[in-house]
Every structure is written in structure tokens, then in C-alpha cells.
Structure 1
Amino acid sequence: MPTVNSSDMHERASRQSRKTVKPPAAPRVLYVATSSGEGGIERHSIRLAERLRDRDVTVGYCCAPNTFLSQTCGECGIPAYPLVSRNSGDPAAIVRLASIIRRERPDVVHVHSRRDYVPALLAAGLVRGGSRSGRKPHLLIHSHLDKPLGEPHALSGWFFQKTASRVIAVSAAVQQRLLQLHNLPDSFVPIIHNGIDLGAFTTPNTLMHGLRRAGARLTWRIESKAMVIGMVGRLYAKGQEMMVAALPALLKKHPSLHLVLVGPEGDAGDKQRLKGLIAEAGVTDKVTIAGRREDIPELLPAFDLLVHLPKTESFGLALVEAMATGLPVIASNIGGCAEVVRDDQSGYLIPHGDMTALSEAITRLISGPHAAALRTRLGQRGHDIAWECFSIEQQVDRLEELYTALVQFPGSR
């Protein structure tokens, strides 16, 4: 009888094991957001869906038809499933969403707005074995805003712990608010910072940066030697009226200043109201209202600094984009702003509404023999921080890790 070498047997068994063990399948994820807007949440969730798809994660999007989301999904090749929801208890929307879950069998249903969470929960409950594993899909809710999950706070916290797998916070400020208001455990509210496509932004002293700077200023008819303060965001949401109020006094000492406001109206008539404030301040020829723009990376090089003065802020994506462009920033010392901006390293944090502090910070960056060197130092540090902490690749890494952990270890709910 032939002798069998034990090491050979072990090697054959090992090879057989490697043949039979399959790598885990990429998660199937269904995004849900029925808003009709085209703000930061909608735009950013589409970018996430694109990046996840490029990593072989199967992603579909339940969204209202004939909206920015549905149109952009079509342009990007993301499957869009029409879903009209009149309110958080709309029975037709719940039945429709249940049919989508039954057909697509997602492992994770990732909800991007609070109003859509209950319909998603009820829809998942209507489907027996809604995911590929035969279990109900995991429910995630993305807390993009610095707001409570619901009221009363204690009951809302209990409800989400019982029904959701995780609540994702876009910043530590949002996480801490949710933990305190709703008495949630830290592990239930992971922080996944928003990220940007850093490759889309240029930095000073590069040819493309110079071309973008000259092109944007030419479009806006701003002199090449002007000192331009930029603001990016929804009108009246980022403190534009405070900056307009501070401008007359600044212009007396620094007549080369020019203010550019980029962003859509928050409410109908916001642009006209802001124009009225600008006219009252007597600075009409020193302010450009650029409106909604899709080419922010091309516009930012036209600025010399960015000012961002919201009363509340969950994260502050405009700050990250400015920092990626090498701009020094001035921001309200609140919420996500205080997390993105490092005071006296990448810019200055000031008390919200403090006009004196605002004027002093701007003067420091534009006046005196060392102002240019200061802008360069702060801008370079901000650029480094953006690359270290706020790339969209890092955000997608964290999301993919979370999806995979939930799918592979169902008990981690």
C-alpha cells in the first residue's frame, strides 16, 4: 500500500479549500431620496453612487421622476427607480418602494433624507427576505444636516436604535448632537466626513490655476489686481448679508476689494432682497452675484480668500473646496466649520455675527507687507489638510467598509 505523505495531504486540502471558498460578493445598495431639489445632499449622494459603482458595488437610486436626481442618474448611468412620496406616510410610495426592494434585493437601503426613512422601513417590512441573504435589508440613514432625528428626542433615539443599522454623521459636531439629544451609543453613529474630488481643483503657481483665475475674472469683469473675497453657498444661508454689511468700511481702507457671491437662491426673491441690501450699502459696483454655478473648481482660483459665515453648519463643503484650491478661509466658529478649519493654520474662525472680528480677519489677510505670505502659508496648510482628510476616496472607503461589515456580519446591526 503506497505511503501517503501528511504534508502532501495538507497541501492538497489547502488547495481544495482555496478553490471552494469564494470571496464575498460586493454589496448591493439602494439609495433613497425623494427630494426635488438640487442642493448639496443630492449632488453629493450622486457622486458617492458613481464612485461606489466604479468599485463594482451595485447601486440604484429611488428618487422622484423629472428631478435633478433622476436626470443626473440617467447621465451617470446609475439606475433610477421612480418614487413619488407626498409625505412620510404615503401608502402608494411605501408599496412602490416595497416592489423595488423585492425586485432589486438590496443588502443595504441607504436613506439620505429623514422624511424617507419611515417609508423605507415600512417597505422593507412588507418584503419577506428582501435581501440576497434572505433577511431584511439593513437600513442606514445619513444625517447630512445638524438637526435632530425627530421629537421627542428620547423616543426618536429608541426608535432608530430598534429599526436602523446605523445613523451616519457627516461630522463630529453632528455626531455629538445626535448622541446627546437621543442618548445613542457612539458606535451606532459613525462619522464619515464628506469628501471631494481633489483632482478637480488647482493650486496657485500652476498654469491651469492662472488660466482659470484670469478666465473667471474676465467673465465677471473684475480687474486682475483686485483683491477678491469669495462666498459659495445658498444665498442668505452662509452669511452673505453680513459680508455685504461689512464691505463699505473695508472699502474705505482697501478700495481694490471686490466681493463675489456664488450660489442659488434659498427662497424665491432672495436674490432681489440681497440686491437691495447691496444698493443700500452703496457697493453695487463692488459686488458680483454669480448665481448657481456647476463649475466651482474653475471659479475658485479667481478668489484671494473665501468667507463662510453660516449660523449653523453640519460640515462645510465649500470650505474644503476652497482649501483644496489653496485659499485661506474665514469661517464662523460653529459646527462643522470648526472641524474643517484649523484656526490660524488654514484660516481663521470667528464668533458668528461678530462684525469686528470679521473685518479684522479680512484686514489681516489683505493688508500689510506680510499679507501675501500669510495667505500663501494658510492656503498651503489648508491644501494639505484637504488632501489628508477630505478626499471622496476616503469617504467611499469608509462607506464600503460599513456596507461590507453589515452584510458579512449581520449581527453587527
Structure 2
Amino acid sequence: MKIGITCYPTYGGSGVVATELGIELAARGHQVHFITSSQPFRLTGREANIHFHEVSVSTYPLFEYPPYDLALATRMAEVADFYALDLLHVHYAIPHSVSALLASEMIESHSVPARRRRLPFITTLHGTDITLVGLDPSYLPITRFGIERSHGVTAISAHLRERTREAFHIDGEIEVIRNFVNCDLYVRRPDLVAEMRPRFAEPGEHLLVHLSNFRPVKRVLDVIAVFARVAQTIPARLMLIGDGPDRSSAEQLALRYGVQDRIHFLGKQDNVHDLLPVADLMLMPSEMESFGLAALEAMACGVPAIATRVGGVPELIEDKQNGFLFEVGDVDGMAASAIDVLRNPSRLEVISQAARRTAQEQFCATRIIPLYEEYYRRVLERNA
């Protein structure tokens, strides 16, 4: 198949999933065309069967804000026409689904009759496009319209599917296809861990990790609070991978707790698959997670997560089996759990193995990508 993929090419979960999906599809022989404002950060530009098409937005004095959604629709239609794409797959509803709708209608009403055809598009819902931005009164009607006019809709968790139906009164099909991880890439390699761990922790110290875009919903300040309690009790250090609006506040809180010299602020990293296996535990105290991709990536590396019982996280983590679940804001409970399991190496090993097994048996790319391929075929057959 020839597939056009549009996403936000940033460090957010939707962009990561879309990019990894394109990489996996290309590896399976499909021709993948990324149509985005810049090259997705996880692409190297050397992947076979992957093409990148930049969306450029003209600036004009009349426009207070450049009309990116219209430029995107135009570029989608151009790429679909030139490369004879079979379908478009857009990630994050706003504004990508509406741009795809415009592109689809442009192709169907092509000025050259011989080139008129159907161009189905699929919208994948990722979370805040539904639970936060999409519920804004300014965007709710257009978000609902884009979803309803999509030829196919998927959600990354059953929780998100139900939230979408309740909030937008969507009665049509929403296929649940959960996030995935490349289990061959995200894996604990003892030799690599032995090489890299001394950079972040001394012998006898425990190492915790947090990975996010440091937005308020990720509650990175709770990460600092949990770690400070852990570090007061047992020797420990913390890796913070990512960046965002709450980084400065996190640094200030670390200073107040007096743990700034035990925290590695690593910023945005492309090689998280090398960093995650070095840790013992992940902290993910988010206020909302539609799935919890960061936790899945850690679990695939044999690093269980201490997380919050929100959104789609319970579809990934089974409390006290392959990780730990707490209520939002329960920093004392999270810290006590971390201390308890870190002091018990045999229990930590059992839970680490269960975390890895969950990733392998339920969320590996080899299991999830065929679900997308089958869904593409169903949408194409319905719209032949």
C-alpha cells in the first residue's frame, strides 16, 4: 500500500507513535509518505520506503496567523495525486482530520476527470485532542465533524474510545488499536547497561527515570517529590528525559528539596531505548494518560512503572503484577512503594520480568502493526 501519514513531528506521544508506525510499515514493504511541517524527530532520513514532504506555510501581511491547516490540506492532495496514495492516516484530530477531509474532497473533484478517485482517510485519536483541546468550545464542533467524516477512526485505548463517544456523541465505529513498541529495539542488554549505568549512578545506588514532555498534565513536580522521599531513605538518583514548560519549576523544587545534585536533567533525547534499560523503576504520576506509551517503552526494557490509575493506564499496568498504580497526587504512596520494591531485589526482578512479558505478549510491533494493516484493508474495501 501507499500510505500518507500526518502527525505533529515533535516529542509528544502521538508523533512518536505515528513515526514508529510509519517505520514499521515501511519495513514491511509499504510505501510511506510523511506529510508534516518538519521531519519527524525519530526519522533519520535513511529509512527505505519512507518519503518526507514538508508543509510550508506562506506568510502574508493579511494573515495574523498563517493558515497551516489549509497549507496541509493542499500538500496532502498534491502528494496523494502525484504518488497515487491509497489512503491518508492522520494522527491527532486537530486540525489533521479536517485537512485530510479537504484533501480527500479535492482529489474526488479533481479538475482532470481521469484523475478523480476516492482517497479515504483514517483518524487516530491520541488523547488530548479529545480530552482537552477538542472539548474547548472553540474546537468541539469542528473536532466532531472531522471525526464523523473520517472513513475510519481508531483510538489508542478503550478508555479513549469511550471518552470520545461520551464527549462528542459519536455513534460510528471507533476501532481500538493500542500503542506498540519495537521489542527488539526496546530491550535490556546487559553489556550496554554495564557500560552506561556508571554515567548516572554509583555502585549501590538505585536509579529511577521519568520520560515526558514536562507539561503540567505529566506532573513532573510529583516526580521530584517522590524522588526526594526515596533519596532520603535509600541511595538513589533520577534521570529526567524530556523538556517542556515545567522544567524550570522542577529544577527549583529539586533545589528546595536539596536533591539537585542527584538528578540528571537530560533534556530531549533520541536514544531513549538506550537510556531506559539503565534504570530500575519508572515514575509516571500523570494526571491523565490515554495510554501511557512511556511506561510501555520502559516495560519492554524490563523497567516497571509506578504510575497513576488514570485513563488507559490500567489497560497496560496490572497493579503489583507488572507495575504499581496509585491515585493522582499520592506521592507518599508512590515513594513508599518505590522504596519497598527497590529494597527487595528478588521482587523487583519478578515484576521486571512480568513487565517485559506484558510488552512482548500484548504490545510488540509484530502484534499491533498487522492490526493496522487489516484495518487499512477494511477501510479501502468499504470505500472502493
TM-score by length of 1: 0.81
Per-residue Cα deviation, 1:372-412 (whole angstroms, up to 9, x for no partner)? 1211111111111111111112221111101111222327x
Q: CA deviation at 1:309?
A: 0.9
1:279-290 residue pairs with structure 2 within 5 A? 279-290=255-266
**Residue 229 (str. 1) matches residue 208 (str. 2):** yes
Q: What amino acid sits opposite 1:80 in the alignment?
A: F
Name the structure 2 match of 1:15: none
Residue pair 1:107, 1:132 contacting (<8 A) in 2 also: no
Match of 1:266 among 228, 244, 252: 244
**Residue 75 (str. 1) matches residue 51 (str. 2):** no
Name the structure 2 match of 1:136: 118
Q: What amino acid sits opposite 2:163 in the alignment?
A: R
Name the structure 2 match of 1:6: none
Name the structure 2 match of 1:21: none
Residue pair 2:154, 2:176 contacting (<8 A) in 1 also: yes
Q: CA deviation at 1:53?
A: 2.1
1:20-99 residue pairs with structure 2 within 5 A? 27-33=1-7, 35=8, 37-64=10-37, 67-69=38-40, 72=43, 74-77=45-48, 78-85=50-57, 91-99=70-78
- Taking the aligned partners of 2:230 and 2:44, their CA distance within structure 1 comes to 45
- Taking the aligned partners of 2:335 and 2:345, their CA distance within structure 1 comes to 17
Structure 2: gaps (5+ residues): 58-64
Structure-2 change in CA distance of 1:303 and 1:92 (3 Å): closer
Structure-2 change in CA distance of 1:227 and 1:162 (3 Å): closer
- Taking the aligned partners of 1:154 and 1:95, their CA distance within structure 2 comes to 24
Q: What amino acid sits opposite 1:306 in the alignment?
A: M
Name the structure 2 match of 1:297: 273
TM-score by length of 2: 0.86
**Residue 398 (str. 1) matches residue 371 (str. 2):** yes
What SS does the corresponding residue of 1:174 show, helix, strand or coil? helix
Name the structure 1 match of 2:177: 192
Structure 1: gaps (5+ residues): 1-26
Q: What amino acid sits opposite 1:31 in the alignment?
A: I
Q: What amino acid sits opposite 2:308 in the alignment?
A: S
Q: CA deviation at 1:127?
A: 2.1
Residue pair 1:37, 1:68 contacting (<8 A) in 2 also: no
- Taking the aligned partners of 2:11 and 2:302, their CA distance within structure 1 comes to 27
Structure-2 change in CA distance of 1:151 and 1:354 (3 Å): closer
What SS does the corresponding residue of 2:179 show, helix, strand or coil? coil
Q: CA deviation at 1:284?
A: 1.8
Larger radius of gyration: 1
What SS does the corresponding residue of 1:79 show, helix, strand or coil? strand
Structure-2 change in CA distance of 1:92 and 1:213 (3 Å): closer
Q: CA deviation at 1:150?
A: 5.6
- Taking the aligned partners of 1:174 and 1:162, their CA distance within structure 2 comes to 16
- Taking the aligned partners of 1:32 and 1:321, their CA distance within structure 2 comes to 22
Q: CA RMSD, aligned part only?
A: 2.7
Per-residue Cα deviation, 1:32-91 (whole angstroms, up to 9, x for no partner)? 23x453433323322211221232322212122xx3328937332411222235666754
**Residue 250 (str. 1) matches residue 243 (str. 2):** no
Match of 1:100 among 67, 79, 84: 79
Name the structure 1 match of 2:187: 202
Residue pair 1:250, 1:359 contacting (<8 A) in 2 also: yes
1:308-319 residue pairs with structure 2 within 5 A? 308-319=284-295
- Taking the aligned partners of 2:43 and 2:228, their CA distance within structure 1 comes to 41
Residue pair 2:223, 2:284 contacting (<8 A) in 1 also: no
Residue pair 1:157, 1:183 contacting (<8 A) in 2 also: no
Residue pair 1:327, 1:375 contacting (<8 A) in 2 also: no
Q: What amino acid sits opposite 2:39 in the alignment?
A: F
What SS does the corresponding residue of 1:200 show, helix, strand or coil? coil
Name the structure 2 match of 1:341: 317
Match of 2:152 among 141, 166, 169: 166
Structure-2 change in CA distance of 1:87 and 1:394 (3 Å): farther
Residue pair 1:70, 1:80 contacting (<8 A) in 2 also: no
- Taking the aligned partners of 2:66 and 2:43, their CA distance within structure 1 comes to 23
Q: CA deviation at 1:279?
A: 0.9
Structure-2 change in CA distance of 1:87 and 1:110 (3 Å): farther
Q: CA deviation at 1:258?
A: 1.6
